[in-house]
Amino acid sequence: MIEFNATFLVAMLSFVVFIMIMNAIFYRPILNIMRKRDEYINSNYDEAKEFSEQAEKLDIKKAETIQQTQNECRTEIKNVVENAQGLASKNVQDARTEVKNEIQLKKDSLVRESEALEGVLKSSVVTDLASSITSKFMSKDLAVNK
């Protein structure tokens, strides 16, 4: 059987003192280091999770901004094209009006010139005809008088 004597008690007491010394010198600092490491890992994990959420929010915001900018660009391009088409249409209409006015002015000028030439030709024809008739009468008169 096991005998309990003073050696056993001294060994037990030595073991308890050894455990207390090991706890104070070795286990407690290691446990503190492990606790600090866990806190550090947890804080880094929380920080990384927060950064990840911020990155997702920024990606969503970036996509929204790109979409909004594209919509604004499309609207601006549409407005510029409409303005250019309107301006081109106005320029074409103005050019047509100007050409019509020039054509009308040329027609009016040609009508006046033709009327003036017609008047000149009429007076010339009348004068030539009158001369011709007069000369015929005079030649008949001279022939009759002879």
Percent of the chain at pLDDT exceeding 90: 64
Domain count across the chain:
1
pLDDT over 90 at 2, yes or no = no
In a domain, 143, yes or no: no
In a domain, 128, yes or no: yes
Mean pLDDT of the chain: 89
Residues 29 and 35: their CA atoms lie apart, in Å, by 10
Task: DSSP for 98-119, please give it.
Answer: HHHHHHHHHHHHHHHHHHHHHH
For the segment 94-99, the average pLDDT, to the nearest whole number, is: 94
Indicate the length of the chain as a whole number. 146
Residues 86 and 15: their CA atoms lie apart, in Å, by 102
How high is the pLDDT of residue 139?
74
Residues 111 and 100: their CA atoms lie apart, in Å, by 16
> What digits encode the pLDDT tens for the residues 45-64?
999 999 999 999 999 999 99
pTM above 0.75, yes or no: no
In a domain, 5, yes or no: no
Residues 94 and 51: their CA atoms lie apart, in Å, by 62
In a domain, 3, yes or no: no
How high is the pLDDT of residue 18?
95
pLDDT over 70 at 16, yes or no = yes
How high is the pLDDT of residue 129?
79
pLDDT over 80 at 131, yes or no = yes
How high is the pLDDT of residue 106?
93
In a domain, 49, yes or no: yes
In a domain, 51, yes or no: yes
In a domain, 30, yes or no: yes
Q: Letter for the amino acid at 133? A: I
For the segment 111-133, the average pLDDT, to the nearest whole number, is: 83
User: Domain range spanning residue 44?
Assistant: 10-132
In a domain, 137, yes or no: no
For the segment 105-109, the average pLDDT, to the nearest whole number, is: 93
pLDDT over 80 at 15, yes or no = yes
